[in-house]
Each structure stands twice: as structure tokens, then as C-alpha cells.
Amino acid sequence: MLAVLSPGQGSQKPGFLTPWLDLPGAEARLRWWSALAGVDLVRLGTEGDSDEIRDTARTQPLLVAAALLAAEQLPMYDVGVTVGHSVGELAATALAGVLSPEAAVTLAGVRGREMAAACALEPTGMAALLGGEAAELLAAVEAHELYLANHNGAGQLVAAGAVDRLAKLAADPPGGARVRTLQVAGAFHTPYMAPAEAALNAVAAGITTAEPTRILLSNLDGAAVNHGREMLRRLVRQVTAPVRWDLCMRGLADLGVTAVIELPPAGTLAGLVKRELKGTGLPEIVTLNTPDDLAAARDLIARHGAPSGHEPTMQFRVVVAAAAGTFAPAADLGEGDTIDSGQVIGQVITRRGAVDVTAHGSGVLTEWLAHHDDPVAPGQPLARIGGQLS
């Protein structure tokens, strides 16, 4: 069985999206997601410096978009498990079929903005505790009136809370541990983020979910979640709840996962998996950082994914409106026609002019979901594109 991992905040690097823009349709896809997230993902992923892409409001949608963009180049129908770390859980949830990519990117934009706003309310931060015994580390965190934000396994916990209390922890580290202050805006995954959780919940209430099409592990407890609405509730709750990555890795081991692909920007989660699971039969790992790594990732899926000879399935992609206006489908297209990735299938006529509607994957135009002169809203489905996958 093979698992795909989606990384969280802190894994980003300047320019990490640059090589991906050479793929057909990639830049258009990112510009569409930029409109949903409220940030320029193309510029941030190619030109943004370390300080700019460390900004929570920008980093979160950037990471979700990067993971989804890379995953679109993989035969995900042969992947058995998806799991993400912190904001990466939004990408993992989309890859499991619970959320559309558009919903995941939109929620990442809201989550990032609202968590940044919550960080500005009072001085808080985070610190990694490296080494030492977990029980002793947890006792020290509690004794300093701090919160456990991440339990990453492999001798790594992350404490969060008021900066003065973090300073006292650093001055008096628990036995055998090193304390490293993290360059983050505030105390993520703690009650300090309650305003952000409330804001995200208000938006999530309008999101339509589906049931998972593969095993989806939750940061809350490492358990597989079987219902879409339950996973959405957990995603909202996760803003103030600790990330139990240790339990997610235990879940991978319990499932008998034999191979792992980490989506870009890859490396952090692969390192944690290597350290945590080395005594239980280390899975084969591919870190997917550039399109040059796609061949290795596809080969790994072929060898560890769904068994060969499975029945072909039909996968559908829904193309949605990027703006409000009226829809004008391309005059020369009809249901049953073949569509290429990046092809313009129509336009949304707005007060400011026409906005092209492009397909983000190849296949067959299975069904028009909107017709000529229909009024449409941003995010409204316009067409369904399907293709037989084997």
C-alpha cells in the first residue's frame, strides 16, 4: 500500500514552484487558485523571498496549491492513503476526494489570513523540544503553562504559548532536550487561535463535501475518517488542536504502508517517517520536489499502489467559474468532444470583460453544467470532464 503525504508550514523554500510552471496548464491553474486564495501564488512560489513566504497568510495557500498541483501529475487512483501535516491536511483531504481543489485552496486562504490575524492579538510563539523523553517533555510544557502544538514523534515535540513562558522554558530545558525557537508568527494549534477557528468554521459551513475515496488519516488522532462532513469538522477543529503526527505515522505502520511519496516542498515529513518507522520496516520513500522526480514517483505507485489488472474507473473533473457573470460556452464544443488540458472551453462575461474558462485536465466533455447566458457565481460548476483511467 502506498501513501501520499502533504507537508505543512515551515517546509517552503524560495523559488520551489519555479520548475513546476513549465508543465502545460500549471501557471493558469495557479492563477485561478490565486483568485480563490487572495494571494499571488505564481509570484510567491517563484520570486518570494524567505520572509515573504514565511508569512502565514501567504504560506498556507501556497503549500496547499503546490501539493495539489504536483498530485495532478500522478495516477492518484492507485494511491491507497493520503495524510497531511497541519495545513497540508487540506490538500490531503482534497486528494482523498472529500473537498474539491478549489474548496481546499479557498479554505487555506481563509485559514492563513485568520490565523495571521489571531497571531497579531498578543505576543505568542512556538519552540521545538528536541530529544529527551516524551513524558518529561510534556510535563515541562504543562509546568510552564504552555500548550502542546505538535507531537511529531521521533523525539520532537513543539510547545506553543506566550513568548515570556517560552523564554523560561528555553532557559530551563527539560532533561536531555534542546529547545529551539521557531520563526513563526504565533501559537498555532492552541486556544490562542480560537478567533481563526470561528472564522474558518463560518466559511466551512457552506462547503459541500463528498465521502473519501481512499483512506484519509486525521491529525487529531491518526484515525481514518470515513465521512466527509466529519473530516471538515476536524479540519476546522485542528486550528486550535495539536497536530498528532506521531499517531498519523503509527497509522501508516498499522496499515502496512510499504511506500510513501511526499509532495512538494518535500523532505520534512519524509525525514520524520524515516526516523520514526526505521524499526518497523521502513517504507520506500520518494520526495517529489521537481517534475524531474515524477518518473520515480510514478514508478513507486506502479510497484506499491493498487494491484495491476484492476477494473478501469471513470474519474471526473469539474470546471468552475472564476468570476461572477454570464456563461458563454465555446461554440465549437459539444458533449462527447475530447478536451485537452489548458483548453479554453468558454468564457464568463463580467462587467470588466470576458474571463476565459480553461480545462485543468484532459478528457471528454461529459456534461455541460451551465448553458449559454446562464448567470454564474465564482466557484459555480460549469462543465464536467471525464476520462477512463486504468
Q: Helix, strand, or coil here: 125? A: strand
The pLDDT confidence band at residue 158, using thresholds 50, 70 and 90, is very high
pLDDT at 288: 97
Place of cell 504502508: 257
The pLDDT confidence band at residue 315, using thresholds 50, 70 and 90, is low
Q: In the annotation, is 86 catalytic? A: yes
Find the mean pLDDT for residues 185-192: 95
Q: Which residues on adjacent β-strands are paired with residue 262?
A: 5, 287
Q: Which residue has the higher pLDDT, 87 or 24?
A: 87
pLDDT at 316: 58
Q: In the annotation, is 310 catalytic? A: no
Of 85, 144, 189, 360, which residue is the catalytic one? 189
Of 86, 100, 218, 341, which residue is the catalytic one? 86
Whether 61 contacts 103, CB under 8 Å: no
Percentage, residues of the chain above pLDDT 90: 69
Q: Mind listing the pLDDT tens digit for each residue in 53-64? A: 999 999 999 999
Write down the mean pLDDT value for the chain: 90
Q: Is the per-residue pLDDT at 364 higher than 50?
A: yes
Q: What is the pTM of this model?
A: 0.77
Q: What are the chain's domains?
A: 2-117+191-304 (3.40.366.10), 124-181 (3.30.70.250), 313-389 (2.40.50.100)
pLDDT at 289: 97
d(CA 297, CA 73) in angstroms, rounded, equals: 10
d(CA 336, CA 149) in angstroms, rounded, equals: 50
Q: Mind listing the pLDDT tens digit for each residue in 218-235? A: 999 898 888 899 999 999
Q: Which residues on adjacent β-strands are paired with residue 376?
A: 325
